């Protein structure tokens, strides 16, 4: 009888492990599908990202600006059903003079473009280093702090 109970407990543990594995595998598949459905493919990625960064920073400038960016992580970050996010360091130039720089969080939307959801200027990062912790993944914060140094 005791042997039967031990075997029964072992079988329950195996079933629970299989269920957990299946859940994680399905979650990863869903996340990857969500990323593929929203992130522009190939050369469109850079073209659309540059276009949307230019539009975002031009809206706040009196004259034309040029934006350069460096992705802080090459792959998208996917959490739940939100749009996939990318993180970048941007430098905004006006007439080839650096006007501002900072960190941006960018959402990829339906393979058609990007929306800048947050921009934290380098000055704010230097004066309030903790301000980035609620916007950017913890793994990226040290790099952002380093880039914000004068």
Do residues 111 and 38 touch, judged by C-beta distance below 8 A? yes
Which residues are CB-contacts of 95 (< 8 A; sequence separation ≥ 6)? 63
Q: What is the pLDDT of residues 76-102, one digit of tens each?
A: 887 777 799 999 999 999 989 999 999
What are the domain boundaries of the chain? 39-148
Lowest mean pLDDT among 24-33, 49-58, 116-125, 128-137: 24-33
Pairing verdict, β 97-109 and 66-71: unpaired
| Contacts of range 75-84, beta carbons closer than 8 Å, 24 or more positions apart | 76/35, 76/39, 76/108, 77/137, 78/31, 78/32, 78/34, 78/35, 81/34, 82/107, 83/38, 83/107, 83/108, 83/109, 83/115, 84/34, 84/35, 84/38, 84/39, 84/108
The side-by-side arrangement of strands in the sheet containing 66-71 is: 66-71, 85-94, 97-109, 113-121
User: What pLDDT, on a 0 to 100 scale, did the predictor assign at position 77?
Assistant: 86
The pLDDT > 90 percentage for the chain reads 56
- Report which of 70, 66, 79 is spatially closest to residue 107, judged by C-alpha positions: 79
3-state secondary structure of 37: helix
pLDDT number for residue 80:
77
Of 34 and 88, more confident = 88
> Rounded to whole angstroms, how far apart are CA atoms 113 and 19?
37
């Amino acid at each position: 009888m005791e042997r039967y109970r031990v075997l029964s407990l072992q079988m329950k543990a195996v079933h629970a492990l299989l269920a957990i594995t299946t859940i994680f595998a399905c979650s990863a598949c869903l996340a990857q599908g969500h990323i593929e459905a929203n992130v522009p493919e190939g050369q469109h990625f850079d073209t659309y990202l540059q276009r949307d960064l230019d539009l975002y920073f031009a809206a706040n400038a009196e004259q034309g600006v040029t934006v350069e960016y460096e992705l802080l992580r090459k792959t998208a970050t996917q959490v739940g059903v939100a749009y996939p996010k990318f993180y970048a360091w941007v430098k905004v130039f006006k007439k080839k003079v650096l006007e501002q720089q900072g960190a941006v969080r960018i959402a990829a939307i339906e393979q058609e473009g990007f929306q800048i959801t947050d921009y934290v200027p380098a000055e704010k990062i230097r004066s309030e280093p903790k301000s980035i912790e609620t916007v950017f993944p913890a793994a990226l914060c040290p790099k952002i702090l380093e880039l914000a140094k004068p």
